[in-house]
Amino acid sequence: MHAITNSGWVEVITGSMFSGKTEELLRRLRRAEIAGQSVAAFTPAIDDRFGQETLGSHAGSSWQATVVDNDGAGVWDVVDVLDGEEVVAIDEANFFDPPLVDVAQELASAGRRVIVSGLDQTYRGDPYEPVPQLIATAEYVDKLQAICTICGEPATRTQRIVDGQPAHVDEPTTIVGADESYEARCRNCHVVRTE
């Protein structure tokens, strides 16, 4: 990414689970750090898979992050705790409420580079707000693919599996700490149970 004006901008890194979103986010943060730019990273309070203050990828790398409340206006804490950092990273954006869109816009308008990573689709294959709104208002969007665990083709969807069965369409969109698992799947192999 390069500056085309003197303003800030928003970058979105999206795709299914296991598509390498967080790894790509961390790669960009490392590049910024090497260039001597200051970085602030944030993660929602809902996600404690890798500890309360670390952005972690499945590949094992990590970055220290500030945990902010994902509900309601809690994401405005991002603006409050910033201390002049040039680059602002927000991981797991799909877990934030809609005010995240306004926060990203405000930070970019104030001259910052904002990098947001998150799922674009729910386990049902529906748009996973607020990520679609971030995509629409961003300057740059990268949609990454995983590999379908069934057929090996590029995967754009996240398959939720509960007790060995595809998840039912009526399950909650977000469940934390429950006994489910996930796979990357292509459109053909992605299954949402309706019966």
Catalytic residues: 92
Question: Is the backbone peptide bond immediately before 172 cis, with ω within 30 degrees of 0?
Answer: no
User: What phi and psi values does residue 166 have, to the nearest 5 degrees?
Assistant: -55, 140
Smallest distance from the beta carbon of 14 to Zn ion, in angstroms? 19
Task: Identify each DSSP E strand in the chain by its residue range.
Answer: 9-15, 39-44, 54-56, 62-64, 66-68, 87-90, 113-119, 140-144, 146-147, 154-155, 157-162, 165-166, 180-185
18: tokens are 């296991």
Contacts with 192 (C-beta within 8 Å, 6 or more apart), sequence order:
123, 124, 125, 166, 167, 168, 169
**What secondary structure letter does DSSP report for 95?**
G
Smallest distance from the beta carbon of 193 to Zn ion, in angstroms? 17
CA-wise closest residue to 25 among 44, 9, 10, 12: 12
Which residues are near Zn ion by CB under 5 A? Answer: 148, 150-151, 186, 189
Nearer to Zn ion, 132 or 154 (CB): 154
Smallest distance from the beta carbon of 160 to Zn ion, in angstroms? 16
Smallest distance from the beta carbon of 187 to Zn ion, in angstroms? 8
Nearer to Zn ion, 122 or 159 (CB): 159
Nearer to Zn ion, 113 or 157 (CB): 157
Nearer to Zn ion, 116 or 146 (CB): 146
